[in-house]
């Protein structure tokens, strides 16, 4: 169990709930904002200063073998299902191009920034702990311990990707670049329309993803096989940025900012596995760990969103 945030933060969370209500209110208080331009300028391909090494440069020998093993886990994480993961996700679903792509949380921009204090955990996390967090939340599983081959493999791969990256320097393309706030607030129904038009063909009408030969080809976006309520991607701002830059796959930048915000709201207004930090008190979990950028604890279609266990 992690320490609960200060009372001030809890109160801020409560105050933010009011903000959410206003964001989600479909009746604009002001005269309606003009509709967004038909096509905002597409996001230019990131021209990052840093380029990770080509895979042909992975060295021979035990270290190179570990790098390749880590890369294979990164690409096909589902092989760990039932061991360390409990859902249908792969690292590469969000960290595109095997963790190499700028603005899709590239690994080379992460390695240089740890150890670091994180508000999420209220402590200084090492890279190992950061990855363990991915297993707990994004993969809805258990943390492979330090000393495990899985953690060593992933760390070796990430370290190798970051060859020659400057330690302690925040590199361009890190994480998911923030989007400007949504001009028209966010709207579930508008998001649903975007989802049906642009997302459902791959991710399924019910966000269920698509399976071939026993493993997920397109990842599930909600439900018991998706990321849980503690994963970064459950945040509407994070998901909106990822979607804006990268979705539909191969067509990053094609949605307007507003569409990205709306569809992120729609996707993240569905049930998914519980927040593992929840000790059974939803309100306390909401106050401690969830802010205005998510729908945890909100009522959607007559149901309070707080996590559903897989069957």
Residues binding another protein (CB under 8 A):
45, 81-82, 96-98, 100-101, 198, 201-202, 210-215, 217-218, 248-252
Nearest to 173 by CA among 238, 123, 245: 245
Report the residue number, 31 or 82, with the smaller CB distance to another protein: 82
Taking the complex as a whole, how short is the minimal distance between the CB of residue 211 and another protein, in angstroms? 5
Taking the complex as a whole, how short is the minimal distance between the CB of residue 228 and another protein, in angstroms? 18
SS3 letters across 136-153: HCCCCCCCCCCCCHHHHH
Report the residue number, 18 or 217, with the smaller CB distance to another protein: 217
Report the residue number, 86 or 275, with the smaller CB distance to another protein: 86
Report the residue number, 76 or 149, with the smaller CB distance to another protein: 76
CA–CA gap between residue 254 and residue 244 (Å, rounded): 7
Taking the complex as a whole, how short is the minimal distance between the CB of residue 83 and another protein, in angstroms? 13
Report the residue number, 58 or 98, with the smaller CB distance to another protein: 98
> What residues contact residue 233 under an 8 Å CB cut-off, 6+ apart?
94, 138, 227, 239, 242, 268
H or E stretch at 304: strand 303-304
Taking the complex as a whole, how short is the minimal distance between the CB of residue 293 and another protein, in angstroms? 28
Taking the complex as a whole, how short is the minimal distance between the CB of residue 69 and another protein, in angstroms? 17
Taking the complex as a whole, how short is the minimal distance between the CB of residue 207 and another protein, in angstroms? 14
Go through 190-211 and write b for each residue having 16 or more CB atoms within 10 A of its CB, e for each that does not.
bbbebbeebbeeebbeebbbee
3-class secondary-structure state, position 9: helix
Taking the complex as a whole, how short is the minimal distance between the CB of residue 56 and another protein, in angstroms? 10
Report the residue number, 191 or 252, with the smaller CB distance to another protein: 252
The end-to-end CA distance of the chain, in Å, is: 25
Q: Could you tell me the two tokens for 52?
A: 């990770």
Report the residue number, 6 or 215, with the smaller CB distance to another protein: 215
Nearest to 130 by CA among 91, 169, 167, 102: 91
SS3 letters across 101-163: CCCCCCCHHHHCCCCEEECCCCEEECHHHHHHHHHHCCCCCCCCCCCCHHHHHHHHHHHHHCC
Taking the complex as a whole, how short is the minimal distance between the CB of residue 250 and another protein, in angstroms? 5
Report the residue number, 215 or 281, with the smaller CB distance to another protein: 215
In the chain, count of helices (H) and strands (E)? Answer: 11, 6
CA–CA gap between residue 37 and residue 257 (Å, rounded): 10
């Amino acid at each position: 169990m992690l320490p609960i945030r200060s009372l001030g933060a809890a109160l801020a969370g409560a105050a933010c709930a009011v903000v959410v209500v206003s964001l989600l209110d479909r009746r604009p208080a002001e005269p309606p904002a003009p509709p967004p331009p038909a096509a905002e300028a597409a996001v230019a391909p990131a021209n990052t200063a840093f380029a990770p090494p080509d895979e042909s440069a992975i060295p021979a020998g035990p270290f190179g073998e570990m790098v390749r093993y880590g890369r294979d886990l990164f690409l096909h994480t589902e092989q760990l299902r039932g061991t360390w993961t409990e859902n249908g996700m792969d690292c590469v679903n969000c960290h595109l191009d095997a963790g190499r792509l700028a603005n899709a949380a590239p690994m080379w921009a992460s390695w240089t920034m740890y150890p670091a204090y994180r508000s999420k955990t209220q402590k200084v996390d090492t890279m190992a702990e950061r990855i363990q967090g991915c297993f707990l939340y994004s993969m809805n599983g258990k943390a492979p311990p330090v000393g495990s081959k899985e953690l060593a493999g992933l760390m070796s791969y990430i370290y190798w990707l970051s060859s020659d990256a400057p330690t302690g320097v925040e590199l361009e393309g890190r994480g998911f670049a923030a989007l400007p706030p949504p001009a028209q607030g966010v709207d579930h129904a508008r998001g649903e329309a975007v989802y049906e038009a642009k997302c459902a063909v791959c991710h399924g009408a019910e966000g269920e993803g698509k399976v071939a030969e026993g493993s997920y080809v397109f990842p599930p976006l909600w439900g018991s096989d998706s990321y849980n309520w503690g994963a970064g991607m459950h945040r509407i701002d994070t998901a909106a940025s990822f979607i804006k830059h990268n979705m539909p796959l191969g067509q990053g930048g094609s949605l307007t900012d507003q569409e990205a915000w709306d569809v992120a709201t729609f996707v993240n207004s569905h049930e998914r596995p519980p927040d593992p930090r929840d000790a059974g008190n939803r309100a306390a979990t909401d106050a401690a760990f969830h802010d205005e950028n998510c729908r945890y604890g909100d009522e959607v279609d007559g149901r309070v969103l707080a996590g559903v266990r897989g069957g």
